[in-house]
Amino acid sequence: MAYYDALISAWNSATHPPTGVTGSGLVAGDTTAQKCAKINGWKMTGPETSQTVPAWQIYDQIVLTEYDALTAANQAIVNNILAMGNVNCASGSNARRRLFATGFFPTGTTSNTNLLALFNSVYAPSQDWCFLNSYPTHGPSGPGNISVSDANNAGLV
């Protein structure tokens, strides 16, 4: 039954979805098939896939009017970052600090939101719960493929 330990724990968790998981929670009135469908849609932060992002992806996330509003000196720094080819997007990296902390693209700007989503997609990616727990899935992005048979085999029904 060790194979089903994570499923059993999640199914019986006091909080739904379990802590650290996003998606629809399981409720008492759900059928087994409905519960499986909800679990198949759960997401959680997976391991980083990389700490670097190609510069062209960063360029595509910057709103041109926000870039145009920068001083020439700040545009030069952004251009230097983009000239790197691959940019370290890890928390605390110089490139990330320059783009966010120094106010080039502060919180509340569209560029900030876009860049943060891009960086987090590789540094702290949202991945399929089933994938991260080694259950049947359609890949890291999901959806999962837990079935009523899995629930039966785990002794949940």
Q: What pLDDT is recorded for position 13?
A: 84
Does 103 share its domain with 114? Answer: yes
Does 118 share its domain with 132? Answer: no
Does 82 share its domain with 41? Answer: no
Q: What pLDDT is recorded for position 101?
A: 64
Q: What pLDDT is recorded for position 1?
A: 53
pTM: 0.60
Counting residues of the chain whose pLDDT is more than 70, the rounded percentage is: 93
Gap between the Cα atoms of 125 and 22, Å rounded:
13
Q: Which residue has the tokens 């629809």?
A: 24
How does pLDDT run across 18-28, given as a tens digit for each residue?
A: 888 889 999 88
Q: In the structure, how many helices (H) and strands (E) does the chain have?
A: 9, 5
Confidence grade of residue 72 (pLDDT, cut at 50, 70, 90): very high
Does 91 share its domain with 117? Answer: yes
Which range marks the domain in which residue 22 is found? 2-46+126-153
- Give the number of domains in the chain: 2
Q: Is the pLDDT of residue 79 over 90?
A: yes
